[in-house]
Amino acid sequence: MELSSIKDAFDRVAKKQKLSSSKSQEVVDQVGCEIEQALATIQSSHDPSAPVDQKSVLTELKFKLNAIGPLQQLEGSNKELNISLTKYQKLLEKLLNPDISKAYRNVDFDTHIVNQIIANHFYHQGLFDLGDSIINEAGEPDAAALRSQFLEMHQIIGAMRERNLQPALTWVSANREKLVQIGSNLELKIHTLQFVEVLQNGTRADALKYARTYLAPFASLNKGEFPKLMGCLLYAGRLESSPYSELLSPIHWEMTTEELTRQFCTLLGQSYENPLSVAVAAGVEGLPTLLKLANVMAAKKQEWQEMKQLPVPVELGKEFQFHSIFVCPVSRDQGSEENPPMLLPCLHVLCKQSIMKLSKNSTRTFKCPYCPAEATVANCKQLYF
Amino acid sequence: MAYGGSGSASTIKQVKLERESELRIEVGNDAPLRLRLLNGTAEIFGTELPPEIWLNFPPRLKFAVFTWYGATIEMDGATETDYTADETPMVSYVNVHAVLDGRRSRAKASSPDDSVSSQGPRVIVVGPTDSGKSTLSRMLLSWAAKQGWKPTFVDLDIGQGSITIPGCIAATPIEMPIDPVEGIPLEMPLVYFYGHATPSNNVELYKVLVKELAGMIERQFTGNAESRASGMVINTMGWIEGVGYDLLLHAIRTFKANVVLVLGQEKLCSMLKDVLKSEPKVDVVKLQRSGGVVSRNAKVRQKARSYRIREYFYGLSNDLSPHSNIANFSDLFVYRVGGGPQAPRSALPIGAEPAADPTRVVPVNINRDLLHLVLAVSFAKEPDEIISSNVAGFIYVTDIDIQSSKFLMLLEVELQLYHVYLNSRSGQHMLHKTVTQGMEHLFTLGVDYLTNMTRPTLNPVSQSEIPFSPLLTMEMDSLPNGNNTSGTPISATATANPAQPPSSNLPQLTESLKLEHQFLRVPFEYYKKTLRANHRAVEKEMSAVISGVNEAAATDLSPDDAVNHLNSLVSRLQGLKRKLEEGSRAEHLQAQKCRVRLDHLESADAENMSEWNNTRMKRILVDYMLRMSYYDTAVKLAESSNLQDLVDIDVFQEAKKVIDALQNKDVAPALAWCADNKSRLKKSKSKLEFQLRLQEFIELVRAENNLRAITYARKYLAPWGATHMKELQRVIATLAFKRDTECATYKVLFEAKQWDYLVDQFKQEFCKLYGMTLEPLLNIYLQAGLSALKTPYCYEDDCTKEDPLSQEAFRTLAMPLPYSKQHHSKLVCYITKELMDTENPPQVLPNGYVYSTKALEEMAKKNNGTIICPRTGLVCSYTELVKAYIS
């Protein structure tokens, strides 16, 4: 990417614009000066001592202005400016993709769905004013279904940022059964944070009471952590100078806040990462390939608006890999329930259809395409990713 | 002699064959033929037909179904011709087989230490063109395989390519009867590349290759008693006179053939008997040519070669997928065999003739002369080993980019172009690739094949961690390549800008910045608009002043009038000066905005990528809301994130005024906008102004103000008559029909939705003028992203929530979009959600479930070496896991 050449071209535009502006001022000054001079001459003609012919003064003024040629000067500097403007625009079109809508299929997105997605995008990020605003302007009252849940989530997060764990504790208590179902230990982590706060700001007796009340139920499940927490009791009020000072690190609050956010979204059936951001980011990565494809398709006069599958792979980064995808190295078909991946005795993997073909429908042994090992269909085992 | 049968049948047809008779079939050119054995027993070229199972024969195939004791055959489909023959040489052929079988048994019974008596028959089949040599070879091989032998098939016919593509000599073991449809399987042939369809191009090279092949087989026989006892069957060319005859003798001696089968040529048989009379233990047997052998002219042969090459790359029924690869010149060495500079006669001893060394290996400079050639990939590690080395496979060069020094190679062939190559005199080419780990394995593989026919099973534990390529196809980083069954690749895509996986984020970032044309263009257009407006104002005022001076000079004015006139001109100029200063400030502000955006693009780098992406997301959302007229939300979002300079709110505010007026049935602001942009709209042949005028006319007609309507038409519509007469006439006709007309042609013109149409038209012209896309940026990116993410797995019940397509709203949007295409496996660990790759390879539990090594190691550490499958609950030991190699 040559941003520097674009910047250089724009600098030339700006320079020409300044020159043109100065030239205009200069021309106006020149013309004004000449007119004022003529004016002074005419006014002085009222003196009897120096009679002047008014007509000749005006005629001379006309000739002087023609000699200056103000319109031509303006036109000249403007032409130079236009040349650099045109060059800049051509450079933009050359270095950037001038029309990214070429890759757009003629499929109209449902505006209501898009607006709903945007509103949820804002709610997900805690931008409730913006979410409400687009719902009002677009007239989409139904899109606010998730607002109250996200509001609750952001209230809890806001409180945690101010070291107030009460809303979080209330929430995990209310959702304890669901959290246990998904194997979460969030409740213990939150109680641990609270315990450390009590230990730091209260008395040893208060801390002990808290541990007995809230930490004891988790003791049997977390044998490794518990002795450490109990050891902290010896250092009530001066934890920062104890062997356990690490427990005071802000990182624990950040990690617990993030984990609460994840669990909250999970129970909500939503993703932790904003789905609209993910989809658009994938689009930014995929669009260059699709634009090249659109050019090729246009050249070949093929109708690509109708195809069921993209003809070329669009390579996305690791962050966009959500599923295991198996592609048979022989047939290049994607694995599916009808055509699952199979492990050969030599530990290479092919799809079932390729194995059937190589073995002539199970009638004979076949050779692995990668190595000299031979196999029969019975030796191959189905894989599950 | 032959009777019965009929051509061009198109329905299921049964043929009853008497004992020792043959049904000869030529499949049509356009459609395959299905055939099955109903009862009795029958064979095709030595391979028995399974009862009642349909076989599919591809177009153009010619074959015969023979029965020893009678059979009934059923056919479905059209044939070029089919007929029954009751007079065949099969009895004499099978007698030859019986004799050979006896020799094999005696050889097997001999002591392995006795290399002479333990050698099975070495059969060579010779005869003129179209005498049935290939068919006889095939029968002898299949019959032997059926008896449990493993004879070696040697194909010296470079014009046909029974084992691999034409232009090669090759050998392969035959362990099963040869498939009547697919022929000899390509499992582990030994191939030497000659590069032409006839040996006359380079006789010496052909001889050298034959010798190499024979030597290699000899080593194989030395190490494998079973192969040695089974012997070999050698197929030869049909060139039996002159040099061809000499080559036949050379082959017979080089391969030490002890059985020479001569088909259908008395003279050749007699000559060979005379010459070989002095050779001990060489039997020359004359055999009759079958009446069913089909004669083929040179054109048919050429076409058959093309199909054979295509079959190599795509499979007999288009079931293979060729790869495309890009290689750097520096990674490859290309050599030619034969040719090279010749010494001038004056530099030679008197009487000596200059001659190119036919077996010399010459490096080839890579240039576009290599385009559309087939190159062989040699196993040689040094150039001087090329002639004596066999080849791993073939590639076809589809493009060469001299500027960036890259090859584009597709493993496919343009059928017609191959003719040019085969007929050229440029010699043959071999491609010598720098040895990589994969090539080392291939080489080792070849050695295993050559020295030990038992093919020991590799111990999986000791096998290389990196799976290497299949033997016959070189596989490097894959290039995007569509499923082109037509055989035409999307080479333009690759040529324009090969899509390589980015080694870092930098190329990706560069590509994404190239999508930001609108981002830079819109403020620039606004800037230009301001420049133009300011310039026009200056010109207008200056012209007025000049005219004022000229006028004063032309008329007689009183002194006071002259003074007043000049004073007013001075005032006007001073006013202009102030306007100029204001205009200059506005220009500067807009130049600043352009620069801010350039700086913003430049600020994108690895450190602030996350923040930059977030800002881009917001920009895209503001763009969407402005286009949808959600101005309040757009302004709020821009202000809350300090995006004012990065979004185009002021531009859309301008559009908003016009749109609001149009929605109130007022065309005045739109017409003013058209006047402001008159020259550019004219350049792009816009008809927006015309449509606005038409609508205003319609409103006058609706108000039944016909006189004003007519006046309006004369003034504003008439100028458009030259270019839009038909449309103009239709609208004028509304004068004759009232606004409540039922005539459909004119009724539509009075409908309120015409105003919606005008709004849309204005929006399009507006976007075009400012260099904006017609669609919201959000829709464009969202469409691309959803297509790239869309796989069948997204719609499964247990789809991870992190996938946008796990949500109903996104699924609905993605419904009409195409699925993404996947070229490589990408495995995500069920436990950790991380990718499995060479650093974190997949491991398989005994129940077939696959997880990543890291996750399983951690689980084993936590559970004292025990693994519990999270999906099935199976309990097993960590030592029971096996690694899977998935490419």
DSSP string for B676-735: HTHHHHHHTT--HHHHHHHHHHHHHHHTT-HHHHHHHIIIIIGGGHHHHHHHHHHHHGGG
Of B290, B268, B229, which Cα lies nearest the Cα of B88? B290
Pick from B455, B786, B802: CB nearest A271:
B802
Q: Could you tell me if A233 and A204 are in contact, meaning their C-beta atoms sit under 8 angstroms apart?
A: yes
> What is the 8-class DSSP label of residue B286?
E
Residue B726 belongs to a domain = yes
Contacts of B69 (CB under 8 A, 6+ apart): B19, B40, B41
- Both B630 and B713 in one domain: the answer is no
**What's the confidence (pLDDT) of residue B355?**
59
Residue B146 belongs to a domain = yes
- Both B521 and B642 in one domain: the answer is no
Residue A110 with chain B: CB contacts under 8 Å: 812-813
Residue B556 belongs to a domain = yes
Q: Which of the residues in chain B have pLDDT under 50?
A: 1-10, 340, 410-504
Three-state DSSP at A368 gives coil
Of B421, B499, B498, which Cα lies nearest the Cα of B166? B421
The torsion angle over the Cα atoms of residues A170, A173, A179 and A181, rounded to 10 degrees, is -160
- Both A264 and A128 in one domain: the answer is yes
Helix (H) / strand (E) element for B454: namely none
Amino acid at B278: S
Upper half-sphere CA count for residue A332 (Cβ side, 13 Å): 20
Torsion over CA: B790, B792, B797, B802 (sign): negative
- Both A84 and A134 in one domain: the answer is no
Helices (H), B170-320: 203-223, 225-230, 243-254, 266-276, 298-314
- The minimum CA-CA distance between B499 and chain A, rounded to whole Å, is 8
Q: Could you tell me if A332 and A354 are in contact, meaning their C-beta atoms sit under 8 angstroms apart?
A: no
- Both A84 and A207 in one domain: the answer is no
- Both A150 and A257 in one domain: the answer is yes
Three-state DSSP at B136 gives helix
- Both B786 and B862 in one domain: the answer is no
Helix (H) / strand (E) element for B107: namely helix B90-109
Residue A287 belongs to a domain = no
Residue of higher predicted confidence among A351 and B604: A351
- Both B287 and B179 in one domain: the answer is yes
Q: What is the Cα gyration radius of chain B?
A: 41
Three-state DSSP at B85 gives strand
Of A297, A83, A319, A7, which Cα lies nearest the Cα of B513? A7
- Both A34 and A168 in one domain: the answer is no
Phi/psi at B553 (5° precision): -70, -25
Residue B824 with chain A: CB contacts under 8 Å: 313, 327
- Both B334 and B195 in one domain: the answer is no
Contacts of A372 (CB under 8 A, 6+ apart): B188, B445, B448, B449, B455, B457, B458
**What's the confidence (pLDDT) of residue B487?**
31
Residue B347 belongs to a domain = no
- Both A125 and A253 in one domain: the answer is yes
- Both B611 and B589 in one domain: the answer is no
Measured CA angle at B609 (ends B603, B610), to 5 deg: 130
Phi/psi at B521 (5° precision): -80, -40
| Contact at CB, B848 and A95, closer than 8 angstroms | no
User: What is the C-alpha separation between A100 and B779, in angstroms, rounded?
Assistant: 11
Residue A300 belongs to a domain = no
Measured CA angle at B14 (ends B93, B58), to 5 deg: 70
- Both A258 and A337 in one domain: the answer is no
Q: What CATH number has the domain bearing residue B879?
A: 3.30.40
Pick the last residue of a domain from A222, A247, A268: A268
Residue A384 belongs to a domain = yes
Q: What CATH number has the domain bearing residue B30?
A: 2.60.120.1030
Residue B579 belongs to a domain = yes
**What's the confidence (pLDDT) of residue B618?**
94
| Contact at CB, B787 and A372, closer than 8 angstroms | no
User: What is the C-alpha separation between B597 and A100, in angstroms, rounded?
Assistant: 18
- Both A147 and A256 in one domain: the answer is yes
- Within B361-443, strands assigned E span 361-363, 374-378, 391-401, 406-410, 428-433
Residue of higher predicted confidence among B353 and A349: A349
Pick from B556, B780, B884: CB nearest A383:
B884
Mean pLDDT of chain A: 85
Annotated binding site of B: 22, 62, 130-135
- The minimum CA-CA distance between A208 and chain B, rounded to whole Å, is 31
- Both B679 and B569 in one domain: the answer is no
DSSP A287-327: HHHHHHHHHHHHHHT--GGG-SEEEEE----GGG--S-B-B
- The minimum CA-CA distance between A335 and chain B, rounded to whole Å, is 9
Q: Could you tell me if B159 and B113 are in contact, meaning their C-beta atoms sit under 8 angstroms apart?
A: no
- The 10s digit of each residue's pLDDT in A307-340 is 788 888 888 888 888 888 999 988 888 888 889 9
User: What is the C-alpha separation between B429 and B334, in angstroms, rounded?
Assistant: 7
| Contact at CB, B802 and A371, closer than 8 angstroms | no
Pick from B467, B614, B826: CB nearest A321:
B826
User: What is the C-alpha separation between B259 and B64, in angstroms, rounded?
Assistant: 26
Residue B469 belongs to a domain = no
User: What is the C-alpha separation between B333 and B433, in angstroms, rounded?
Assistant: 6
Pick from B614, B640, B801: CB nearest A270:
B801
Rounded to an integer, the average pLDDT of A67-89 is: 89
Residue A222 belongs to a domain = yes
Domains in chain B, number = 8
- Both A127 and A29 in one domain: the answer is no
Contacts of B324 (CB under 8 A, 6+ apart): B398, B408, B409, B410, B411, B478, B479, B480, B481, B489, B494
Q: Could you tell me if B562 and B811 are in contact, meaning their C-beta atoms sit under 8 angstroms apart?
A: no
Domains in chain A, number = 3
User: What is the C-alpha separation between A175 and A152, in angstroms, rounded?
Assistant: 13
The torsion angle over the Cα atoms of residues B583, B588, B593 and B599, rounded to 10 degrees, is 170
Q: Could you tell me if A195 and A169 are in contact, meaning their C-beta atoms sit under 8 angstroms apart?
A: no
- Both B513 and B661 in one domain: the answer is no
- Both A126 and A235 in one domain: the answer is yes
Residue of higher predicted confidence among A34 and B377: A34
Q: What CATH number has the domain bearing residue B192?
A: 3.40.50.300
Residue B501 belongs to a domain = no
Of B166, B470, B435, B105, which Cα lies nearest the Cα of B320? B470
Residue B310 belongs to a domain = no
- Both B415 and B283 in one domain: the answer is no
Centre a 10 Å sphere on the Cβ of residue A18 and count the other Cβ atoms it contains. Answer: 15
User: What is the C-alpha separation between B234 and B154, in angstroms, rounded?
Assistant: 5
Residue A120 belongs to a domain = yes
Q: Which residue of B has its CA nearest to A359?
A: B185
Residue A272 with chain B: CB contacts under 8 Å: 801-802
Residue B779 with chain A: CB contacts under 8 Å: 104, 109, 114
pLDDT at A99 over 50: yes
Domain with B547, as residue range(s), is 506-604
**What's the confidence (pLDDT) of residue A3?**
85
Q: Could you tell me if B460 and B882 are in contact, meaning their C-beta atoms sit under 8 angstroms apart?
A: yes
User: What is the C-alpha separation between B507 and B500, in angstroms, rounded?
Assistant: 10
- Both A235 and A128 in one domain: the answer is yes
- Both B209 and B113 in one domain: the answer is yes
Contacts of B156 (CB under 8 A, 6+ apart): B169, B210, B234, B235, B236, B237, B251
Residue B785 with chain A: CB contacts under 8 Å: 278-286
Residue A67 belongs to a domain = yes
Burial A300-334 (b: 16+ CB within 10 A, else e): eeeebeeeeebbbbbbbeeebbbbbbbbbbbbbbb
| Contact at CB, B573 and A32, closer than 8 angstroms | yes
Q: Could you tell me if B870 and B862 are in contact, meaning their C-beta atoms sit under 8 angstroms apart?
A: no
Of B124, B227, B137, which Cα lies nearest the Cα of B175? B227
CA B505 vs CA A283, A289, B508, B615: distances in Å: 16, 16, 5, 18
Domain with A342, as residue range(s), is 323-385
- Both B145 and B276 in one domain: the answer is yes
Q: Could you tell me if B868 and B874 are in contact, meaning their C-beta atoms sit under 8 angstroms apart?
A: yes
What tokens were used for B398? 């589809």
Chain B interface disruption, residue of A30, A95, A284, A365, most B CBs within 10 A: A284
CA A140 vs CA A48, A119, A288: distances in Å: 85, 9, 33
**What's the confidence (pLDDT) of residue A350?**
92
| Contact at CB, A310 and B818, closer than 8 angstroms | yes
Phi/psi at B394 (5° precision): -135, 150
pLDDT at A1 over 70: no
pLDDT at A268 over 70: yes
- Both A333 and A372 in one domain: the answer is yes
Measured CA angle at B327 (ends B321, B331), to 5 deg: 135
Of B194, B175, B196, B195, which Cα lies nearest the Cα of B185? B175
Pick the last residue of a domain from A268, A292, A314: A268
Pick the last residue of a domain from B452, B474, B497: B452
Of A47, A64, A48, which Cα lies nearest the Cα of A56? A64
Helix (H) / strand (E) element for A230: namely helix A226-231
Pick the last residue of a domain from A94, A129, A162: A94
- Both B642 and B697 in one domain: the answer is no
Residue A343: exposure state from Cβ atoms within 10 A (0-12, 13-18, ≥19): buried
Q: What CATH number has the domain bearing residue A383?
A: 3.30.40.10
